[in-house]
Amino acid sequence: MEQRASDEQQLVRIEGAFAEAALRHDAGALEAYITEDFVGVDVNGQRMDKAQVLARMQSQEMEITSLRHEDIRVRVFGDCAVATARTVVAGRYKGQETGGEFPYMRVWVKRQGRWQAVATQSSAIPKR
C-alpha cells in the first residue's frame, strides 16, 4: 500500500514535469519518460509516436503563454498506472490566438524501476 501511494505521488510529479517542459519547449526533459514504442492520439485524432511528440514539443509554431494540468488523478496497478487530468492551455499557433481545455489519459509502465509513458489520448472540450 505504501509503495502504491509513493508511485502515485511520483507520477503526479512527473505529470507536472510534462506541463513545465511543454511550456519551455524542452523535449529533452521528457525524452526519458517516454518509451520507444509510445503511441499517442492528440486532440485532432492524429496518431503520434515518440519522435513526433518530441518534435511537436520543440516546434516554435505553438507559442504557449500558459499551461497547467488540473485534477491529476493516478491509479496504480502494480507496474502499470493510468493518469487522467485536464490540461488548460493558452497561446498562439501560427500567429493565431488558441487555447482551451483538453482532458487526457496517459498510461504508464514501470520498467527497471522507472516510470515511462506508453500511451496517451487527448480530447478537446468545446468552447462555450
Q: Domain 2-122, what fold?
A: Nuclear Transport Factor 2; Chain: A, (3.10.450)
- What sign for the dihedral angle of Cα 15, 21, 27, 31? negative
Output 98 or 11, whichever has higher pLDDT: 11
pLDDT digits (tens, 9 = 90+) for 76-127: 999 999 999 999 999 988 888 888 999 999 999 999 999 999 999 999 887 7
- Report pLDDT for 50: 97
pTM: 0.89
DSSP state, 45? S
Q: Which residues on adjacent β-strands are paired with residue 52?
A: none
* Rounded alpha-carbon distances, angstroms, from residue 49 to 3, 13, 23, 113: 30, 23, 20, 23
Cβ atoms of 86 and 101 closer than 8 Å = yes
Query: Is residue 128 scored above 80 in pLDDT?
Result: no
